[in-house]
Structure 1
Amino acid sequence: MSTFIKALLTCPRPLVMEVKRQDADGRDLLAGRSVAETVERYEEAGAPCISVVTGRWFGGTEALLREVASRTELPLLRKDFITSRRHLDRSLELGAAAVLLTAKLLPAPTLARLAAHALSIGLTPFVEVADGAELAAAATAHPTESVIAVNNKDIATRERLPADPSRGLALLPAVRRTGTPCPVSASGITDPQEAAALLDAGFKALLIGTGLLATDSVSAWSDRLDKARSARP
């Protein structure tokens, strides 16, 4: 089992906390905080892993990943539109432990080849899906060694429309049948109660960006998640 997946499955708060400079509309998400402050807030809240968005849609750059890697020893996920082995090799050089592979963008054979290469160089494939057809492709991409994440937003609209967590809940049984050790619900999660419900439904981890970047205290948000989980039957 990879370090990235093990960190999520063995921690009390299985949240991939995200560093993202701006949302799809260009709104500043760091709100005057430095990258160092943001990473420190996540570490204080017990983050097992950190996601770093290097995609240009969200104001990301390779330098952002390099900076986060210099600030923490936590396993890092690189989120970008990865389409080649060269991108995977570069992600490893920059300090990533896992890399986003977006099923909507990649033909199934390409997705499988990139997942295989990622694993061969020590990167965990973090395969993102949004529907059954994409999940079928993900099922060929070494799912027993990969994370499979259901995106609650639609990249076809540059993730500008509201999230739909019910999509992930509907797909979850099929995601689990792939054999992935770590099904993830990703994006658009803002409320600790909602987060608790998704974990209780069977997701092993959540990826949260804007919801945590917008809160005054990540630790307090995480505490509310703990209380919501303990209060559920």
Structure 2
Amino acid sequence: MTSRFIAALLSAERPLVMEVKRRDAHGIDLMSGRTPADIVAGYEAAGAPCISVVTGRWFGGTPDLLRDVARLTELPLLQKDFITRRDQIETAKTLGASAVLLTAALLPATSMRTLVTAALRTGLTPFVEITGEAELENVPHADECVIAVNNKDIKARERDAGDINRSLTLLPAVTAAGTPCPVSASAIDTPQTAARLLSAGYKGLLIATALLRAADLHDWPTTSSAARHAPAA
């Protein structure tokens, strides 16, 4: 059975996981005087299928932010934080998450297997973030997971510019792993870049900073507009 988070993303006209994040990787404020309610309302108006909520302290997040957003919307929510223990998965569910981030680059293989299984048993979608093909070998139940390619370097706290070519190169391997929902995440800075990734075959994109700074969220592509707006390869 397809999870609510995955189903929402696969059926969306604009398949963007739109993110609520207080600060970027360099500590710069992204809220610009807005409240979470302001941001969520804007995302809903733009047709967001899912919302990511960054609770990690690197980016000024707290668990309360997830709870607050869950009270504002019925959309499926992804908790973005460094999940390393099973009790954190239980907490995510209590706070209102539908999915949890699991970062392959930071988790031993045994921990990845344990946490994916625990998330599924709890009713949460594992949102598994990878940066290389070898990391796919440690992902069990890939057919029940979102597998997302992070275009930035998590070990550098995502302070690098990122490389979209990582997503383009890894897409065949991610698809072959069995996920129904390959996602490209981070460093997606323009609607044109988003269109290129959707046109290449990604079923969803996770975007934070660019959306939080966007003048009009409706400028970002839909599935029907991606091919004609994607730049030539």
Aligned to 2:100: 99
Q: Deviations over 1:32-79 (max 9, x none)?
A: 111100000000000000000000000000010001001000000000
TM-superposed CA distance for 1:190, in Å, is 1.4
Aligned to 2:220: 222
Q: Which amino acid aligns with 1:218?
A: L
For residue 104 of structure 1, give the secondary structure of its aligned residue in structure 2: helix
Q: Is the 8 A contact 1:124 1:147 kept in 2?
A: yes
Q: Deviations over 1:176-230 (max 9, x none)?
A: 11100000000110111111110111111000000100112223x2268864534
For residue 12 of structure 1, give the secondary structure of its aligned residue in structure 2: coil
For residue 34 of structure 2, give the secondary structure of its aligned residue in structure 1: coil
Distance 1:58 1:6 in 2: 28
Aligned to 2:153: 154
For residue 101 of structure 2, give the secondary structure of its aligned residue in structure 1: strand
Choose 38-47 or 129-138, whichever is displaced more: 129-138
Distance 1:15 1:85 in 2: 28
For residue 173 of structure 1, give the secondary structure of its aligned residue in structure 2: helix
Aligned to 2:89: 88
Structure 1 residues 143, 189: CA separation in 2 closer, same or farther (over 3 Å shift)? same
Q: Is the 8 A contact 2:198 2:223 kept in 1?
A: no
Q: Which amino acid aligns with 1:166?
A: N
Choose 222-231 or 24-33, whichever is displaced more: 222-231
Distance 2:176 2:225 in 1: 30
Q: Is the 8 A contact 1:193 1:225 kept in 2?
A: no
Aligned to 2:63: 62
Compute the RMSD of aligned alpha carbons. 1.5
Q: Which amino acid aligns with 1:98?
A: A
Q: Is the 8 A contact 2:198 2:226 kept in 1?
A: no
Structure 1 residues 105, 46: CA separation in 2 closer, same or farther (over 3 Å shift)? same
Q: Is the 8 A contact 1:192 1:225 kept in 2?
A: no
Q: Is the 8 A contact 2:14 2:222 kept in 1?
A: no
| TM-score using structure 1 length | 0.95
Distance 1:99 1:24 in 2: 20
Q: Which amino acid aligns with 1:77?
A: L
| TM-score using structure 2 length | 0.95
Q: Is the 8 A contact 2:195 2:221 kept in 1?
A: no
Q: Which amino acid aligns with 2:31?
A: L
Q: How does 1:83-232 map to 2 (within 5 A)?
A: 83-138=84-139, 141-219=140-218, 221-222=219-220, 227-231=225-229
Distance 1:231 1:32 in 2: 32
TM-superposed CA distance for 1:110, in Å, is 1.1
Aligned to 2:53: 52
Q: How does 1:63-78 map to 2 (within 5 A)?
A: 63-78=64-79
TM-superposed CA distance for 1:137, in Å, is 1.7
Aligned to 2:42: 41
Q: Is the 8 A contact 1:45 1:222 kept in 2?
A: no
Q: Which amino acid aligns with 1:112?
A: R
